[in-house]
Every structure is written in C-alpha cells, then in structure tokens.
Amino acid sequence: MEKKEDSIQAKWLKTLQQNSWEPEILISGIVLFGLFKIYPLIDELNYFLEMNSSIIFTRGNVNETLTTILKTSNISLILGFLFHLLLRSVWVAYIGLSYVYEDGISYKSLKYPDKYLDDLKTSGNFVKQIHTLEKICSVSFSVSFMVFMWLIGISFFFTIVAGCIGIYLSFFPDDYNFNLFNNILSSICVLVFIDFLSLGWFKKIPYVRQVYYPIHKIAGWLTLSFLYKNIYYAFVSHHKKWKVSLMLIIFSVFILFSVLLSITTPADFKFGRTILLAPYNGKERMDENLYRDKVTDGFYSKFMHIDSYVITKNYLELFIVHRTRHEDLWIQPACDYETQKEIEGTDLDKLRLTCLKKFYDVSLNGKLQTDNFIYQRNTITGQDGLLSIIDISTLEKGKHQLELIYNFHEMEQDTIYSNTVKTLPFYKM
C-alpha cells in the first residue's frame, strides 16, 4: 500500500516537474512587471526615510545605503528574471523544433566535412539541449527567486528594527544614543553575513557553533529565512561549495561597490549621467527642487526652498528643512541641551528652538540675516523645519542669492565651525 502511494506521489511530482515551466514564466513575468514599477519608488522611500523616519535611518548615510542596495538588487533581479525568460524562449524553440523535426538535424543532407559534422553532433541533439536548458532555466529561476525572497527578508528585518526604535522613542523621546544598539546589531549582522557567504562556516566549528546557534535562529526569524533557506541549502549540498560561495561573494561585492560609488559620486554622475561640464557643487547651479512652484514629483529640497525663482513680493518665505541626523552629534552638544533640559522650570520647546537657531544660519548676498525662525510642519512638502520671513524690500532688481549655513560643533576642540551647505539663487522683479 505504501509503495503504491509512493508511486502515485512520484508520478504526481514528475508531472509537476514537467509542467513547472508554466508557473515559472508566469511568475517571472509578474515579478518583472513589479520590479520595473518598484524601481522609481525606491527614491520616494529614500526621501521618506530622510524626512520622516527614525534617526537610525537619517543619521549618516544609512538611508542612502539602504536605497542603493535596493536599487542594485532590483537591477540584479531584473537581469536574473530576464535571463530566465530568454532561456525559456530558447527552450520553447527547441521543443517546437523537436516536434516538427523528430529526427533532429539531417547531417547527411548538409554534406559537410567530418570536422564540421562532429561539432554539430556534439551540440545539435535536440533532446540533450532541451534537458540542459531545462536545468539551467530551473536553476536560474530558483536563484532569482531566492535573491528576491532574501531581499523581502532583509526589508522585513529593517522594518522590525525601525518599529522597535519607534516604540523605544515613544517612551524615551529625548534619548537618541544608539551606539550600544548599533554595535550589537552590526556585530550580529557581520557574523550572519560571514556565515552566509562561507556556506555555514560557524556551524562547523566546535564550541563556536553552540554560541552561534541562538544568533542563527534569531537571524532566521527576523529575515524570514524559511522562505528561501531550502533553496540556499540545495545549492550548497549539490554544487561545488567554492562555486556557490564565489557567486555569493561576487553578488555582495557588486552591491558593496554600487553603495560606495553612490555615496562618493556626485549626483549628476550617478546612473549613467555624464555631463562633465555641468557644475554640481550646488553653488553654481539652480536646482528646481529649491522652488516649490517647480516641484512636480514631490521631491522638495532637503536643505531649503522658497516659493519661486522669480520674486515679485518684498519678502521671501524661506523654509529651512530640519533633519535629525545632526541632532545628537552637533546640535545638542553645541547648546548643552542635555544639561539645560534638566534645569527645573526650563521650557523645552524654547530650548530646542534656541539650539536649532544656533545650528542654522542664513545669509543674503553674503550678509548674515537675523534669526527670526519659527518651527513649522510644512503640510505641502511633508517636512519639518524652520520658517523665516526675509525682508527684501531694499534689494535692487536682479539676481541675488541665499546661503544656508550649518554651524557644526567640533567636540574634541569644543569649537564651532561654519559650513555653507546650499546656495539658492533667485531673481527679484
């Protein structure tokens, strides 16, 4: 009875294997459609993280790194699924030819010399080609699917981390010191990643594997490894380990190189733009995201913006965008926030605004302006920052410019140094 059931299951599995190309093509097409739609949305994610999310994303280059990884992975997945569809197309062509020409290639009618016929006979067997392509297609689809599900797991992990930090900050809103948390999290990620690339190196070392096991289990839960781990271990157990490890290392190096290139390359030279003579330092160019009436895609400047390039009024409504990345490193130490907030009777809102006024400065045509800031949540742009009304009634008709200055705090020497981070030109009528 058991043998009969095993035989039925074997036939059922064989039928599924033979027909697996149908769902493969369907899934590849659907995923490809989604990947092409998702790519432009990654910039929106970066903008949202920059403006609205926890400090763990906005501090340093974390959000840029995350979105660059997503972009690189998106492109890799598109190439993987396109490669699979291309091979499946060739596979279908061979299937059709094997049906029309059951005997395959007629070597006698070609009348080629034996040297050429020998080459054809080694590669012209339709049945052999179909089997080879079937294996390659299945493997390429599985690899692409594994990477796809792995990225979902990584995204889920980041979501969990951000959620935990959000909950923590809801109870301790003034505590932005995540150094200990960052060190622990980074160490765990490095260990898990090394084990992933080395195909389970830590699992084989005596004593180490006992300590590593809880980390392995927790990392598996947080990254949804049950979605892709069987595919991973199938490759590890059926292929030469150095080949699998080399493939993973190449993919990881590709992502790392893309991240470093994204961070160190000016914006106008990223993703294929090679306008070498165009100024890109922000002081000799006019970016449309600096002017609210020019923005059509929702990506307003992350530094400052005004209503329009051409000003017909006697005042400017300048909005300076405030980002949390500078708070714990420069703003709070510069105004001694931690000490001042503990003083009884201190108005925390006034203290915070005072700290922001010390960090942000604006100059008009090289002349420093009086701090008349008021904190605002801009509902149009979805940004938090400082609103400043600047009197330009005495300015002559023509081109002028605003400069946004950050007053950074040097902790080691306990000094303040100023840095112009953005220039905004405008024309007064």
At 382-411, the pLDDT tens digits run: 788 889 888 888 889 999 889 999 888 777
SS (H, E, C) the chain: CHHHHHHHHHHHHHHHHHCCHHHHHHHHHHHHHHHHHHHHHHHHHHHHHHHHCCHHHHCCCHHHHHHHHHHHHHHHHHHHHHHHHHHHHHHHHHHHHHHHCCCCCCHHHHCCCHHHHHHHHHHCCHHHHHHHHHHHHHHHHHHHHHHHHHHHHHHHHHHHHHHHHHHHHHHCCCCCCCHHHHHHHHHHHHHHHHHHHCCCHHHHCCCHHHHHHHHHHHHHHHCCHHHCHHHHHHHHHHCCHHHHHHHHHHHHHHHHHHHHHHHHCCHHHHHHCCCCCCCCCCCCCCCHHHEHHHCCCCCCCCCEEECCCEECCCEEEEEEECCHHHHHHHHHHHCCHHHHCCCCCCCHHHHHHHHHHHHEEEEECCEECCCCCEEEEECCCCEEEEEEEEECCCCCCEEEEEEEEEEEEECCCCEEEEEEEEEEEEEEC
Residue 7 has pLDDT above 80, yes or no: no
User: Packing angle between helix 126-171 and helix 229-238, nearest 10 degrees?
Assistant: 140
Residue 235 has pLDDT above 50, yes or no: yes
Per-residue pLDDT band at 272 (split at 50, 70, 90): very low
Residue 12 has pLDDT above 60, yes or no: no
279 neighbors 271 (Cβ within 8 angstroms):
no
Whole-Å CA distances, 140 to 74, 137, 330: 16, 5, 49
- Position 273 scores a pLDDT of 47
Per-residue pLDDT band at 255 (split at 50, 70, 90): low
The pLDDT tens digits for 175-222 are: 555 666 667 777 777 888 888 878 888 888 888 888 888 888 888 888
- Position 229 scores a pLDDT of 83
Query: For the whole model, what pTM was predicted?
Result: 0.55
Residue 136 has pLDDT above 50, yes or no: yes
Give the residue, 308 or 411, on which the prediction is more confident: 308
Please state which of the ranges 101-105, 346-350, 351-355 shows the lowest mean pLDDT. 101-105
Per-residue pLDDT band at 274 (split at 50, 70, 90): very low
Candidates 253, 285, 251, 252; CA nearest to 266 is: 285
- Position 62 scores a pLDDT of 58
